[in-house]
Structure 1
């Protein structure tokens, strides 16, 4: 059986140690348990991405060889979670490691994990700090036992791609600067030997431009295709701290609750318990909602919201555009398959315009989504909707990108 580092990490953390982490974070043990896979996958993705960069694999091997990340940490992990100076040292080491892997995007990673897992943003960053040394120690143990050099390390990490892609949180590609996680372990085209240095430098500088051209070509290719493969432009998959979202009255950009296509991953068939098959993206709201519903350790609560990622409204209105119907239909099918589940939809706007108008618009949009699902046959008694206006922004309203992220519709499970 092929080695699975992700399984080694999650299986290696005992229930007792998970409880200790939960106590330190002030979170429910079940929430932390359900977050371990996403956190570990994120760290492994960072290691894979780092190893693919020039000299990156050797840097990782050097850190392991220095003796900081080996079996001793695995054996003593519980004592490092007892609080006090040892825990402070663990968090400091973990923070440095996260910074080594993700640089200035470390804070963004914390938000992405919070969005995916239901953890508070501060908790997700702290859990990253606790988990990063453990993940590195699991990797270090394997590197040491197999006497792997930088090439062997890279090969080992790249063999984990499939497992990591399945467990990684939505939005991770953007943190890593990738179009999708399928690029993990890859490298930009190399300049052939013998090309003069000035041409090589030009080619290296041209690579980001070529990536942009490729992404534009992919977007153009989707035009005219059935909506099953289509995702409208904008924002990132970051959920609000406590509430949900919609759109405002500004006219500078389309009003949507869509995320970048690269954040959604590949579309694929998913069969619901009642036999209905959906064509849904690997990191879209549908899969996250289904996973939450099926996870017996995660009760319905008021904090766990899931952002719609393919809804588009007419600007300044609560009228859903036709391309939104695919995702509306998917949520309808999920509710039919899980007949005990009830949902609440929440609308959210940016802070542009009149606050009362924004509040009304956010409420109207949440209700518009609910109404469309009722039309498809779901009992209205199972649904609720509320508008929150410009409360609880998830991004900076000073930028258009931030305002676009703050305009969306979310839902949460109120009964399961």
Structure 2
């Protein structure tokens, strides 16, 4: 396994850091807190012009495909800057789902629009008082002439208010995994949006579907194939979410190191005190460990090896590290670290939120335990797309 940083990874990181330095400053992040749209058009346009919206899309659809390790470099920079944009939902999750459901003129058009920055898409998955397992999907898809009608309530739908289309997980049968994927227009009759507030002040929505008609042409999967497709794509994507957590933790550590060097007590910087310096050493060690685990998961994916257990472990550990590092950073800052004027609280709030997004710690531990406790099925468990 070779995890040395390549020139391409460095180039991607430098490009994204430059873009975020111009369009995702802490002032820009603050301005987007609890914003109904959640991102600035300028940032989205620059990402599109730079080819960074097509990194998971084949060239025939206008994409600019790169390896997972290169995508990891991009997402670590997104984490450093807390970049407020729908890249993850649109250019990663939606793009990969559209490829996995099979070739069609509709998917090809949407993939081209994603790569060009002409569309934002959202994923409507989680529901109130439900978990991350397939049994938690209770939104009903009832068969009618020419399509289905969807009825249900979705929560924590990122960037739904600025999305043109949503990919909705809905139940089509009685078995736990009888779930399919449906492409729904954001302005479809019967669909209503209500913004939800989170500890991260990011842009999430509650989506109510009341007899929303979806034509057969917009039914992305049939026969209950949707859950397997969704779960497989999610276990790819969380590698990047883990990398975002690493970047967040690294920047929080950088901010705190600089503060410890300049903040003085008893006529010397607080970094000179052993208790503070050892805290920072522990944080640095944990961040490097998380970065290595993320890189290993990305390397396995790029090599076509089973990656899902590594991906789950990477997100579990990286998000725990981000939470621990930002909490320690708050402690080192003292009381002022909790004030809104200081940037460290931006990272502290988002670190905890990120532990809950997409797959929380309990769901990730269950994914890992399935592999650990059932060695005979380790490969099948690790790769949901395996035959």
What range is the shorter-chain TM-score in? under 0.3
**Larger gyration radius, structure 1 or structure 2:** 1
TM-score, with length taken from structure 2: 0.26
TM-score, with length taken from structure 1: 0.25
